[in-house]
Amino acid sequence: MATATTPTIGFIGLGNMGSGMTRNLQAAGFPLVVTDIRRESAAQILAGGAVWADTAADVAASSDMVITMLPTPRHVDDVVNGESGILAGIADGGTWIDMSTSVPDVAARVREHHSNRGLHILDAPVSGMSVGAAAGMLQIFVGGDADDVERVRPVLEAMGDPERILHVGSHGAGYAVKLMINQLWFSHLVATAEVLAVGARAGVDLAVLRDSLIASPANSTFVERDVLSILQHGDYDEGFAVALACKDLGLSADLAVSVGVEVPLSGLVKDLYQQARERYGEQAGEMTPFALYEDAIGRQLRL
């Protein structure tokens, strides 16, 4: 429960992820000041006692640390550097934690241009989907100074699984780890769709094919667990839009370019995600590239 020493948390971005994360912060007793461009997204958290602020600057001015959970680096840039952004309200020595899936650039520029303000900045992107956000069981990858990570750990623990809140390195390392996890997961999805479509078309029973893959060295968490969402329930996970997945794949490609690594496989995966986005719409689930293969063989893959 809240005490006189419990920090007030400012939270900006109450979407699929932020709504669950703020509910868990509230349940853990942290006073909240929140904003979003969609005021309606705050209804539940305000009913629970959170305070609304009209701008990011107001959120920063009335809280002890500010968390952002926004779609893309452009949104993060606007919310931090805009006229009524975080930098216009945060006190010198204040703390900003960006939990968005993003790239190091925005925070790096803030550190460079505002080095005299003593700000404490962490990147702390997450894995675990909206279900993990709602359950307070996110995996969190934190980049930044060790002292800061330990100081904010109780706040992160209200949103994530304490065992899987990892300090992965200096500033930017959290973003990099998160982007590489997503890149590999999206690659697993496309690879799995491809082999299940070909195997099924070749006449193998889908359950037998999947069991054989699980028993083989080609097994993966995707084959064993995540693909069941589609095979059993026809659920392509609308909790994470394919448009956001394309954004992540673009950021991951940008990271590869910035460090000088050629990534042909990642390029193919990104093209397939883009095709799915065009065919099924921006808000279709992140697993809809699977449906490209189902369409191609003229049947849905279901157990």
Nearest-approach distance from CB 244 to ligand NAD, in angstroms: 5
| Cα 52 from chain centre | 24
126 touching ligand NAD, by CB under 6 A: yes
Query: CB-wise, 94 or 132, nearer to ligand NAD?
Result: 132
In the chain the first and final C-alpha atoms are separated, in Å, by 46
Residue 152 or 244 with smaller CB distance to ligand NAD: 244
Smallest distance, ligand NAD to C-beta of residue 100, A: 4
Asked if residue 16 binds ligand NAD (CB under 6 A), the reply is: yes
Binders of ligand NAD in range 225-244 (CB under 6 A) = 239-240, 244
Taking CB under 6 A as the criterion, the residue among 24, 63, 101, 187 binding ligand NAD is 101
Spot the catalytic one: 23, 75, 178, 270: 178
Report d(CA 18, CA 42) in Å as an integer: 10
Nearest-angstrom CA–CA distance, 173 and 30: 27
Chain centre distance of CA 36: 17
Shortest CB 154 distance to ligand NAD, Å: 21
Is 270 a catalytic site residue?
no
Q: Does 55 bind ligand NAD (CB under 6 A)?
A: no
**73 vs 235: CA distance, rounded Å:** 28
* DSSP structure string for 94-160: -EEEE-SS--THHHHHHHHHTGGG--EEEE--EESHHHHHHHT-EEEEEES-HHHHHHHHHHHHHHE
Check residue 96 for interaction with ligand NAD (CB under 6 A). no
Region binding ligand NAD by CB under 6 A among candidate stretches 37-45, 139-147, 202-210, 216-224: 37-45
Report which residue's Cβ sits closest to ligand NAD: 15
270 in Cβ contact with 215 (< 8 Å)? no
Q: Does 15 bind ligand NAD (CB under 6 A)?
A: yes
Instruction: Please count the residues of the chain.
Output: 303
33 vs 164: CA distance, rounded Å: 26
Chain positions contacting ligand NAD, by CB under 6 A:
12-18, 35-38, 41, 69-71, 75, 78-79, 100-101, 126-127, 129-130, 239-240, 244, 248
Q: Which residues are catalytic?
A: 178
